[in-house]
């Protein structure tokens, strides 16, 4: 995520947090999160697999409305 698109509310660390991070050698790295079906996935492959499983389940179990 580029600095111009980052959410400032989530990116703002206090001076105390910066000091503690430096004291303990903690680093912060950006991470992608993939959302699907109300769930969050750290891996695109996991999100895609869940979406495909749901698609297959829906295709094999049509609702009564789908069969009209």
For residue 41, the SS3 value is strand
Residue 3 CB-half CA count within 13 A: 1
Q: Name the token pair of 16.
A: 């105390």
pLDDT of residue 13: 82
Distance of CA 25 to the CA centre of its chain: 26
Residue 47 CB-half CA count within 13 A: 13
* Average confidence (pLDDT) per 10 residues, the chain, 68 residues: 48 87 95 97 98 96 64
Q: What is the pTM of this model?
A: 0.57
Contact (Cβ atoms closer than 8 angstroms) between residue 22 and residue 15? no
């Amino acid at each position: 995520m580029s600095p111009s698109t980052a959410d400032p509310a989530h990116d703002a660390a206090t001076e105390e947090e910066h000091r503690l991070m430096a004291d303990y050698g903690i680093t912060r790295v950006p991470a992608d999160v993939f959302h699907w079906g109300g769930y969050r996935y750290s891996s695109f492959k996991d999100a895609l697999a869940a979406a495909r499983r749901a698609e297959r389940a829906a295709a094999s179990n049509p609702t009564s409305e789908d069969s009209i």
